[in-house]
Amino acid sequence: MGYHRLELTEAEMAMDTYQRSTASQEPKQSQTESKLGYIFDIQRFSINDGPGIRTTVFFKGCPLRCIWCDNPESQQQLPQLFYFESLCARCYRCVEVCPSGASKISPDGSIEIAQGLCQACGLCIEACPSDARVMSGRTVTVEEVVEIVKKDELFYRNSGGGVTASGGEPTYQPDFLKELLRECQRYGIHTTLDTCGYVRWEVMEGILDYIDLVYYDIKHMDTIRHRELTGVGNELILDNARRISQSGKPIVMRIPLIPGCNDSEENIKAMVEFVTGIKVIRVDILPFHQLGSKKYERLGMTYKLAKVKPYQEDEIQALKATFKSYGLEVSIA
C-alpha cells in the first residue's frame, strides 16, 4: 500500500537541518568500530517505560523544546554542566581552573555560570571539593550499553520486560539507536521506543524493524499551538503516527496534559478523534508535574511553567473519565 506524500513542511525542513548538524558532530569512526551514542542516564529496574521490569536508556538530544519538559538536560546532544548552588562552598577553585571563563564570581560572592561558554571539559568538577558540579551526558558504545542491559535478562524473562530507548529523542541518533536495538533483539530482549515522532519517515521506517512496541507522544492537535508549545509543528508527528499504525506495530499513545496548554475540551476531543482513527493498545495520560523544575535552575535555564499548579487527584480522574467515555483503554502514567 502506498502512502500519501506530504508537501515539504517546516518540520521536515527543520529535520534536514538537525540531521545534518548531528551527523557533523559525531566522532569519526572506522567501519569496524562500534557506533558511538550520547546518553545522559541508564536506569535499571524501571517499571514506567513499558511492560515488565525494564532498563531505560535515556538518549541526549531532542528536536523539540516542550515548555514542560522534565528532562531539560536531554535537549542538547553534548554534555552539560549541572551546578548545585546549595552545595557550593565558594572556594572559587572552579573559577581558577575554568579555561573558557564560563565560571565567574558575582558581586554578591556567588558563582555565576555562563552555560554558553562552558566547554564541558570537567576541570571544575575535578577541582570542586563539595561535589557542587556534575556533568550530564557521556559518550558510550553499543557494546557498553548492551553489557549493562544484559545484566537483568533474568528479570526481563520473568516479568515480560526488556529495554526502552527514551530521552530526549532516541531517533535523533538513528544509527546508534538502530544498532543498539538490533543487538538487544539478537539476545532475545524485548525493545520499546519512546518517541515524539518528529523524524523523517524514511528514518523511522528503518528503525521499526528492531522495535517490538512504540510509545508515541501526542501533545496538541493544532499545529500553530503545537509550535508555540514545542518549537515545531505537528504535521510530521501525526503523519508518522498514522504510518506506524498502518505498519502493524503496536502503539501506546502517551498524552502529556498540561494545565492551560493542551487540556481544553476542544483539544481533548480532537486528540480522541485522532487516536480512535488509528489502532492503539491504550492511551497513557501523563499529568503535569514540576518534578524537573530544579533541573532548569541547575542548568541556568528558565522554567516557564513555574507558576502552573499540578492537577489535583479529582481533576486527573475526571480527565481519565473523559478519555474513557470515548471507548478508549486509559491509564494514568
Task: Spell out the per-residue pLDDT of the chain, length 333, in tens.
Answer: 333 333 444 444 445 544 444 443 333 333 334 689 999 999 999 998 999 999 999 999 999 999 999 999 999 998 999 999 999 999 999 999 999 999 999 999 999 999 889 998 999 999 999 999 999 999 999 999 999 999 999 999 999 999 999 999 999 999 999 999 999 999 999 999 999 999 999 999 999 999 999 999 999 999 999 999 999 999 999 999 999 999 999 999 999 999 999 999 999 999 999 999 999 999 999 999 999 999 999 999 999 999 999 999 999 999 999 999 999 999 998
Amino acid at 123: L
For residue 80, what are the β-bridge partners?
Answer: 136
CA distance 211 to 185: 9
Pick the closest to residue 140 from 201, 59, 71 (CA basis). Answer: 59
Give CA separation, 118 vs 59, 178, 296, in Å. Answer: 21, 31, 16
Please name the amino acid found at residue 237: I
How many whole angstroms separate alpha carbon 315 and alpha carbon 311? 6
3-class secondary-structure state, position 47: coil
| DSSP string computed for 131-146 | --EEEE-EEEEHHHHH
Residue 144: count of CB within 10 angstroms of its CB: 16
pTM exceeding 0.85? yes
C-alpha cell at 122: 570537567
In three-state secondary structure terms, 87 is: helix
Q: What count of residues does the chain have?
A: 333
pLDDT at res. 116: 85
Distance CA 15, CA 253 (A): 22
Grid cell digits, residue 134: 556534575
Residue entry with cell 488509528 = 278
- What are the start-end ranges of the H helices in the chain? 10-25, 93-97, 123-127, 142-150, 153-159, 174-186, 201-208, 223-230, 235-247, 265-276, 293-299, 313-324
Whole-angstrom CA distances from 315 to 83, 324, 332 are: 35, 14, 12
Instruction: Name the DSSP class of 72.
Output: G
What is the DSSP secondary-structure string of 168-201? S-GGGSHHHHHHHHHHHHHTT-EEEEEE---S-H
Handedness of CA 323, 327, 50, 246 (dihedral sign): negative
Domains of the chain: 10-76+138-332 (3.20.20.70), 83-136 (3.30.70.20)
CA gap 90, 149 in Å, rounded: 40
